[in-house]
């Protein structure tokens, strides 16, 4: 199978690098039995970035390698050492590349050298237990996992950025005209559909330098899929002007310059978006005697339509200088009216699953579906093999108000609560006000009271104990005076500890 050298449309599968995991670690040093948490954070994954490059003219590299992935972030480690960031993957694309999503919606129009589009963001690195420590949770025994990078399929569609577009029937002489005006050397032969890809040529006319491109194989019905023109009509969308190259020497029945012009104009109108472009008409092959006569015959009618007409011959170069200067004048006028597109940077972000709120809850059958950026991200970060991490997740969800809203909507203990989309959902049993996985934990889930308990009594407690002791002694004296037994059960040594 032939290997294509020009590719103007390709589907690309991209994925941002996954974030590294945080680490749960405790500082160990001689004579310091509880050195405190020192687990570092994981590094963030690398982005996948499209960047407009001036030296790239085709998408053929992505035709052969359609799967691209950003660098993965490394995991954190003990001693407060954070993981390294994943490397960004920069993919050069030609100027004029249109990026579409899987549904065909235009995401960006890549115009301007240096313009960047982040099509897949890398996942954030997970926090280590050193970053999770607080005054109430002094020694977390868990860390957060890194988030996976964004993943999507996009379509890259190249629209050649040329100043002049040549349109016409097959074998009208468009490739010969480009070869005569510039140093481009396209394939030229005496049969239809010789040109299978758009050809570009650079033309210098006076002080103006501009590019010329042809559209292969336009025939009647091209806008509906006939011939090759339907694949390449997009390449004339960015042209400042269109030049109709008309074959005045054709011997095909039913063909004449006026009919050819009307057919091509009909296809351009059916394609849409080109009605505002200036038109020039090049009556080609006037080096043939009969063609010269036909050109002179139709010229007046074409000029009556308001078209600027040139009689040319790509073979003998007759009339090419006048045509090239006329094209240069149109290009110069167009450039004065349009400012150069500045380089920009665009970041694509996944659509919010919660409609802009922190989260949404819907009921489907016997399940409660929780969707939202925060709850879904927290679930991805949680290590469900660690009870303390699960308790920390429960605390976060409770503070966000998930539990309160579930109760208000009629959820009962034991109902299934699903957090996330269908592909990566996590199912919980609804158990309100229960310290999930916290048999050894205190009032806050994910918190170990053994590490924060303070056995020292406050001044107020000492004063209360002293008052209780004095009351006990007074009651005991009265009991001895009256001959009763002192109430020993009212006091014990444990009350003083």
Is 243 labeled as ligand-binding? Answer: no
Is 392 labeled as ligand-binding? Answer: no
- Closest to 308 in 3D by CA, of 281, 329, 287, 341: 281
Is 287 labeled as ligand-binding? Answer: yes
Do residues 143 and 76 make contact, with C-beta atoms less than 8 angstroms apart? yes
Cα dihedral 111, 115, 120, 124 in deg (nearest 10): -160
Is 192 labeled as ligand-binding? Answer: no
Is 443 labeled as ligand-binding? Answer: no
Is 173 labeled as ligand-binding? Answer: yes
Is 249 labeled as ligand-binding? Answer: no
Is 175 labeled as ligand-binding? Answer: yes
CA distances from 459 to 240, 373, 465, 469, 470 (A): 87, 47, 10, 15, 17
pLDDT at residue number 250: 79
pLDDT at residue number 201: 79
**Domains detected in the chain:** 1-158 (2.70.210.12), 164-337 (3.40.50.300), 360-451 (3.30.300.350), 459-496 (no CATH)
pLDDT at residue number 76: 94
DSSP character string of 406-449:
HHHTT--TT-EEEES-STT-EEEE--TT--TT-TTB-SSTT-BG
Is 384 labeled as ligand-binding? Answer: no
HEC assignment per residue over 238-288: CCCEEEEEEECCCCCCCCCHHHHHHHHHHHHHHHCCCCCCCEEEEEECCCC
Cα dihedral 103, 108, 111, 114 in deg (nearest 10): -120
Largest separation between any pair of C-alpha atoms in the chain: 149
Is 144 labeled as ligand-binding? Answer: no
Is 30 labeled as ligand-binding? Answer: no
CA distance 208 to 240: 14
pLDDT at residue number 489: 46
Strand partners, 266: none
Is 195 labeled as ligand-binding? Answer: yes
pLDDT at residue number 448: 46
Is 313 labeled as ligand-binding? Answer: yes
Do residues 278 and 163 make contact, with C-beta atoms less than 8 angstroms apart? no
Is 193 labeled as ligand-binding? Answer: yes
pLDDT at residue number 468: 85
Is 438 labeled as ligand-binding? Answer: no
Per-residue pLDDT of the chain (497 residues; tens, 9 = 90+): 444 556 778 999 999 999 999 999 988 888 777 778 999 999 999 999 999 988 887 888 898 899 999 999 999 999 899 999 999 999 999 888 889 988 888 888 888 888 899 999 999 999 999 999 988 888 898 999 999 999 999 999 887 777 888 888 877 788 888 888 887 665 554 444 444 567 777 888 888 888 888 877 665 554 555 545 555 677 777 788 889 888 888 777 778 888 888 888 888 888 777 888 888 999 988 888 888 888 888 888 888 888 898 998 888 888 899 999 999 998 888 888 766 667 777 777 665 554 446 788 888 888 888 888 888 889 889 998 888 888 888 888 888 888 888 888 888 888 888 887 777 788 888 887 644 443 333 444 444 444 444 556 677 778 888 888 888 888 888 877 776 654 554 455 454 44
Is 130 labeled as ligand-binding? Answer: no
Residue 83 carries which DSSP code? P
Collapsing DSSP states into helix, strand and coil, what is residue 131? helix
CA 287, 291, 297, 301 torsion: positive or negative? negative
Is 32 labeled as ligand-binding? Answer: no
pLDDT at residue number 339: 65
Radius of gyration of the chain (CA): 38
CA distances from 234 to 63, 89, 159, 313, 335 (A): 19, 28, 6, 27, 20
Is 350 labeled as ligand-binding? Answer: no
CA distance 430 to 91: 46
Collapsing DSSP states into helix, strand and coil, what is residue 381? helix
Is 216 labeled as ligand-binding? Answer: yes
CB atoms within 10 A of CB 367: 14
pLDDT at residue number 1: 42
pLDDT at residue number 147: 92
Exposed, middle or buried: residue 6 (CB in 10 Å: 0-12, 13-18, 19+)?
middle
Do residues 246 and 168 make contact, with C-beta atoms less than 8 angstroms apart? yes
CA distance 301 to 307: 9
Is 285 labeled as ligand-binding? Answer: yes
Return contacts of 339-344, CB within 8 angstroms, 24+ apart.
Answer: 340/112, 341/111, 341/112, 341/115, 342/112, 343/52, 343/112, 343/113, 343/114, 343/115, 343/116, 344/112, 344/115, 344/116
- pTM check: above 0.75: no
């Amino acid at each position: 199978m032939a290997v294509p050298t020009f590719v103007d449309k390709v589907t690309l599968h991209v994925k941002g690098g996954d974030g590294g995991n945080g680490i749960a670690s405790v500082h160990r040093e001689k004579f310091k039995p509880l050195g405190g948490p020192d687990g570092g954070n994981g590094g963030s994954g690398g982005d996948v970035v499209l960047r407009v490059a001036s030296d790239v003219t085709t998408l053929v590299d992505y035709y052969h390698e359609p799967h691209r992935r950003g660098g993965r972030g490394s995991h954190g480690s003990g001693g407060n050492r954070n993981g390294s960031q994943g490397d960004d993957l920069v993919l050069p694309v030609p100027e004029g590349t249109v990026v579409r999503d899987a549904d065909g919606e235009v995401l960006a129009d890549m115009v301007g050298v240096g313009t960047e589009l982040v099509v897949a963001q890398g996942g954030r690195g997970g926090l280590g237990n050193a970053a999770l420590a607080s005054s109430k949770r002094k020694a977390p025994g868990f860390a957060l996992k890194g988030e996976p990078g964004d993943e999507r399929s996009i379509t890259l569609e190249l629209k050649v950025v040329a100043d002049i577009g040549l349109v016409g029937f097959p074998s009208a002489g468009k490739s010969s005209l480009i070869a005569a005006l510039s140093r481009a050397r396209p394939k030229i032969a005496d049969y239809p559909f010789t040109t299978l890809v758009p050809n570009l040529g650079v033309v210098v006319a006076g002080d103006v330098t501009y590019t010329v491109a042809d559209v292969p194989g336009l025939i009647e019905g091209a806008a509906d899929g006939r011939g090759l023109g339907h694949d390449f009509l997009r390449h004339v969308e960015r042209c400042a002007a269109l030049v109709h190259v008309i074959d005045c020497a054709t011997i095909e029945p039913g063909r004449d310059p006026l009919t050819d012009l009307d057919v091509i104009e009909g296809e351009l109108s059916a394609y849409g978006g080109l009605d505002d472009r200036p038109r020039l008409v090049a009556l080609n092959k006037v080096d043939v005697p009969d063609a010269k006569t036909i050109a002179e015959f139709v010229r007046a009618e074409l000029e009556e339509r308001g078209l600027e007409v040139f009689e040319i011959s790509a073979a003998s170069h007759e009339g090419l200088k006048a045509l090239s200067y006329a094209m240069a004048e149109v290009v110069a006028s167009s450039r004065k009216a349009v400012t150069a597109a500045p380089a920009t940077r665009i970041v694509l972000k996944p659509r919010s699953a919660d409609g802009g709120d922190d989260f949404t809850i819907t009921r489907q059958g016997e399940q409660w579906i929780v969707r939202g950026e925060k709850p879904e991200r927290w679930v991805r970060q949680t290590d469900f093999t660690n009870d303390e991490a699960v308790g920390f997740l429960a605390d976060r969800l409770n503070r966000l108000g998930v539990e309160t809203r579930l109760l208000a909507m009629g959820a009962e203990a034991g109902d299934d609560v699903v957090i996330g989309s269908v592909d990566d959902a996590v199912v919980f049993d609804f158990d309100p006000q229960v310290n999930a996985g916290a048999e050894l934990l205190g009032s806050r889930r994910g918190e170990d009271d053994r590490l924060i308990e303070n056995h020292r009594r406050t001044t107020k407690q000492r004063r209360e104990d002293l008052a209780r002791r004095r009351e006990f002694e007074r009651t005991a004296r009265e009991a001895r005076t009256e001959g009763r037994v002192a109430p020993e059960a009212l006091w014990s040594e444990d009350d003083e500890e």
